[in-house]
C-alpha cells in the first residue's frame, strides 16, 4: 500500500509526466465519472482488479494522458460519501471486499481525491455477476479460466504437488535420492535428528507421506526416475552447452541420466555447469580464496527455484542453457501472485507448489521467508559482479547470469568491512556497484534499482552517508543526489592516486557543470564559485580551473573578483559560434 505522503509526492510529478507513467502493479489512477452509476461501477471494477492482483492503492479523481496538475487533477465531487461507496463495493463483490478509503485534499479540481487501499487475500474476486479482472503490471486484464485457476493455485486451493500417488510408498522411493537429499540438507545445517530418521520417517516428518502413501511432492523429492516418469510425465530437465544462439555441441536430459528426483537433478545439473565454471584464486594475507565465475550459492538458489516453482501441468522441462559468456535457467510457469521481476526482491513469498516448498524448507534447502532471491543477488554482488537478470515470460521464468571474473578489490573490501562488524545487505551492494560505473544516483533511480519505495530508499542512502561513510549527498529535497566518496571509489576500482584522482569522468563533469550554469542563468541566479564546482565534481581547485578554461568555448565566463567571483554562463558570441 502507498502512504498518503508518498501519493502527495507523486501528484507533484504530474507537472512533468502523465499519470499513466506513474502507475505500477500496486498503484493506479482513475478519473471519476460524472454519472453516479458509472462511478460506482468503476470503483467496484478497480477494487476487484487490485484485490486479485495482490492488493494496492487507487487514486480516484485523476485524469490520464495529460501533463500538469491542473489538467490532470479533476477530483471527486463532494457529494460522493466515503461510507456509502464502501458499502456499494461490499454489496457488489464476491467474496466481499472492504477497502479502506481516505480523503486527500488538493487545490485543484473539486478539492478532494479519494485514495482507495485494496487488500489482497481470498482471490479470485468477482462482481455479483461472476465477472472480474486481475492486475498485471499497470493494466487490468479479464479474469479468464486459466487466470482463475492460477489464482487458486497461488492461494493453495489447487496445490498440484499435494495429491496422493496411488502406489505403496516403499516401491517408489530411490535410496540414492534419499542419501543425496541427506547430504544436501546436511550442508545447509538441517536438524541432525531429522536426517537420522529412516527414509519413510524422514518423508513423514517433512510432510510428504500421508497414510503410507507419497504425495507428488514426496515423489519429486525421493522418487525413482521410472516412477516420476509415469506419474509426473511433464517433469524433466535439460542442460545444453551452447556454441551460439541457435546451436549446441552437447546436450543431456534428466531422463537419460535417471536423475529426476530433485536431489539427484540438482547435483547432476550443478556438475554439468561446473565443468565449465572456472575457479579463480585470490590471495588475501596468508589465505588463498577460490571463487567460481558463477558462485555456488547463486547457482543453487536459482536451480532450486526453477525445480520447485515450475508449473508441473506444462509439458516443458527446466532448461539450462550454458553459453560461452552467460548462463540461462528457465522453468515452465510464470511468476505468481503479483510478483514481478521489478518487485521480486521484497515481495512476500508465494509458492505454486506449496507442499513441495514446505517440505524442502523443513530441510533448509529452500527458504520460506523469500530470502532465496536476495541470497542469489548477494552472492554475485559481494564478488563485484552484476546480479542476475530475472525475466517473466508469462508462461516461463528465465534467470540470466553473466559470466564474470571476481573483482578482487571489491571482494576484499566486503571481507574487511565484515571484520569490523559492518554487514552490507543487497541494497547497499546494489548502490555501490551502480556508483562504480555511474557518476551519481538519485532517489527514484536507487528505488527502482533496489525495488524499494522512495521513502525507504532515502533512509538507506542517508545511512550510507551518515553511518557507513560511503557516500556524499548533494542537492536538496527532490533534487538530492548521492555519489561515492572518491577515496572509496579508488579503493573499489583498485586504482592509486596517480591513476585516477576522482570518480566523475571529465566529459560528464563538463556537461553537468555547463547544464547547471545554464539553468541558473535562465533563472536569473548567480553562477557557481570555484568551491561550489569542487563540491559538484569532487575535483581540486586546479582541476576546476582547467575545466572552466575548456568551458569558455561554450560561453562560460568568470564574473566578479576575489571571494565574490563566480563562473556564469553568458552564451557564445557570434564569432565563437562561427
pLDDT per position as a tens digit, 146-179: 666 666 655 555 688 999 999 999 999 999 999 9
- What lies within 8 Å, CB to CB, of 60 at 6+ separation is 30, 32, 42, 43, 76, 113, 114, 115, 116
Cα 252 from Cα 255, distance rounded (Å): 9
Rg (C-alpha) for the chain, rounded Å, is: 29
What are the angstrom distances between the C-alpha of 574 and each of 12, 518, 550, 555?
A: 40, 18, 18, 11
Q: How sure is the predictor about 339, in pLDDT bands with cuts at 50, 70 and 90? A: confident
> Residues 442, 425, 396, 339: is their CA dihedral positive or negative?
negative
Residue 495 is predicted with a pLDDT of: 47
pLDDT in tens, 531-543: 888 888 777 777 7
List the domains of the chain with CATH numbers.
Answer: 4-152 (3.30.950.30), 162-231 (no CATH), 237-349+364-402 (3.30.565.60), 408-493 (1.10.10.10), 506-577 (1.10.10.10)
> What does the angle CA 304 – CA 306 – CA 310 come to, to the nearest 5 degrees?
125
| Short-list 342, 350, 457, 351, CA closest to 389 | 342
Which phi-psi region, left, alpha or beta, contains residue 524 (left: φ > 0; alpha: ψ -120 to 50)? left
Sheet with 481-484: strands ordered across: 441-442, 481-484, 471-474
The three cell numbers of residue 533 are 564546482
Q: With b meaning 16 or more CB within 10 Å and e meaning fewer, what string describes 502-513?
A: bbbeeeebbebb
Residue 68 is predicted with a pLDDT of: 94
Q: What is the mean pLDDT of residues 213-235?
A: 96
Residue 287 is predicted with a pLDDT of: 63
Q: What is the mean pLDDT of residues 73-79?
A: 96
- Give the helix/strand (H/E) hosting 258: none
pLDDT in tens, 79-116: 999 999 999 998 999 888 889 999 999 999 999 999 99
Outline where 295-353 has alpha helix (H).
296-308
Q: What is the mean pLDDT of residues 132-148?
A: 83
DSSP helix/strand/coil, 209: strand
Q: What is the mean pLDDT of residues 56-68?
A: 95
Which residue, chain included where needed, has cell 551519481? 440
> Of 27-41, 203-217, 289-303, 357-371, which range is least confident?
357-371
Residue 506 is predicted with a pLDDT of: 73
**The pTM is what?**
0.67
Name the burial class of residue 540, with classes exposed (0-12), middle (13-18) and buried (19+) by CB atoms within 10 angstroms of its CB: exposed
Q: What is the mean pLDDT of residues 320-337?
A: 92
Cα 182 from Cα 303, distance rounded (Å): 18
Amino acid at each position: 500500500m502507498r502512504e498518503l505522503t508518498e501519493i502527495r509526492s507523486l501528484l507533484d510529478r504530474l507537472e512533468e509526466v502523465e499519470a499513466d507513467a506513474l502507475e505500477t502493479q500496486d498503484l493506479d489512477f482513475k478519473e471519476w465519472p460524472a454519472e453516479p452509476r458509472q462511478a460506482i461501477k468503476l470503483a467496484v471494477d478497480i477494487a476487484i482488479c487490485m484485490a486479485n492482483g495482490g492488493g494496492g492503492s487507487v487514486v480516484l479523481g485523476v485524469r490520464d494522458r495529460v501533463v500538469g496538475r491542473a489538467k490532470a487533477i479533476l477530483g471527486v465531487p463532494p457529494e460522493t460519501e466515503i461510507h456509502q461507496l464502501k458499502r456499494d463495493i461490499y454489496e457488489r463483490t464476491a467474496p466481499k471486499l472492504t477497502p479502506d478509503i481516505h480523503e486527500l485534499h488538493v487545490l485543484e479540481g473539486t478539492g478532494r481525491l479519494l485514495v482507495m487501499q485494496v487488500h489482497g487475500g481470498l482471490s479470485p474476486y468477482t462482481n455479483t455477476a461472476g465477472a472480474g479482472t486481475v492486475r498485471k503490471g499497470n493494466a487490468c486484464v479479464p479474469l479468464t479460466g486459466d487466470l482463475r485457476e492460477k489464482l487458486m493455485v497461488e492461494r493453495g486451493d489447487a496445490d498440484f504437488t499435494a495429491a496422493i500417488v496411488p502406489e505403496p510408498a516403499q516401491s517408489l522411493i530411490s535410496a540414492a535420492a534419499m542419501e543425496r537429499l541427506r547430504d544436501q540438507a546436511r550442508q545447509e545445517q538441517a536438524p541432525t535428528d531429522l536426517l537420522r530418521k529412516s527414509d519413510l520417517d524422514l518423508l513423514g516428518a517433512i510432510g510428504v507421506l500421508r497414510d503410507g502413501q507419497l504425495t507428488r511432492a514426496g515423489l519429486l523429492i525421493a522418487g525413482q526416475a521410472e516412477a516420476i516418469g509415469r506419474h509426473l510425465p511433464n517433469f524433466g530437465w535439460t542442460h545444453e552447452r551452447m556454441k551460439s544462439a541457435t546451436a549446441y555441441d552437447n546436450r543431456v536430459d534428466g531422463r537419460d541420466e535417471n536423475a529426476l528426483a530433485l536431489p539427484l537433478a540438482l547435483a547432476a545439473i550443478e556438475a554439468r555447469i561446473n565443468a565449465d565454471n572456472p575457479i579463480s584464486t585470490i590471495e588475501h594475507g596468508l589465505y588463498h580464496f577460490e571463487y567460481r565465475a558463477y558462485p555456488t550459492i547463486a547457482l543453487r538458489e536459482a536451480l532450486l527455484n526453477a525445480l520447485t516453482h515450475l508449473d508441473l501441468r506444462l509439458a516443458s522441462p527446466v532448461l539450462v542453457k550454458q553459453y560461452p559468456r552467460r548462463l540461462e535457467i528457465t522453468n515452465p510457469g510464470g511468476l505468481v501472485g503479483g510478483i514481478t521481476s521489478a518487485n521480486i526482491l521484497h515481495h512476500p513469498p508465494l509458492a505454486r507448489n506449496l507442499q513441495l516448498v514446505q517440505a524442502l524448507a523443513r530441510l533448509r534447502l529452500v527458504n520460506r521467508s523469500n530470502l532465496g532471491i536476495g541470497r542469489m543477488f548477494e552472492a554475485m554482488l559481494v564478488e563485484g559482479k552484476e546480479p542476475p537478470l530475472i525475466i517473466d515470460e508469462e508462461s516461463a521464468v528465465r534467470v540470466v547470469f553473466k559470466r564474470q571474473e571476481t573483482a578482487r578489490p571489491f571482494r576484499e573490501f566486503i571481507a574487511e568491512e565484515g571484520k569490523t562488524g559492518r554487514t552490507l545487505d543487497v541494497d547497499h551492494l546494489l548502490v555501490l556497484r551502480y556508483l562504480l560505473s555511474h557518476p551519481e544516483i538519485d532517489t527514484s533511480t536507487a528505488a527502482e534499482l533496489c525495488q524499494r519505495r522512495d521513502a525507504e530508499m532515502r533512509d538507506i542512502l542517508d545511512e550510507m552517508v551518515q553511518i557507513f561513510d560511503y557516500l556524499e549527498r548533494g542537492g536538496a529535497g527532490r533534487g538530492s543526489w548521492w555519489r561515492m566518496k572518491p577515496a572509496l571509489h579508488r579503493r573499489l576500482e583498485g586504482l592509486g592516486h596517480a591513476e585516477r584522482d576522482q570518480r566523475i569522468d571529465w566529459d560528464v563533469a563538463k556537461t553537468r557543470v555547463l547544464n547547471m550554469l545554464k539553468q541558473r542563468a535562465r533563472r536569473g541566479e548567480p553562477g557557481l564559485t570555484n568551491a561550489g564546482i569542487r563540491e559538484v565534481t569532487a575535483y581540486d581547485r586546479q582541476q576546476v580551473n582547467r575545466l572552466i578554461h575548456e568551458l569558455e568555448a561554450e560561453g562560460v565566463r568568470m564574473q566578479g573578483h576575489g571571494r565574490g567571483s563566480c563562473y556564469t554562463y553568458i552564451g557564445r558570441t557570434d564569432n565563437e559560434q562561427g
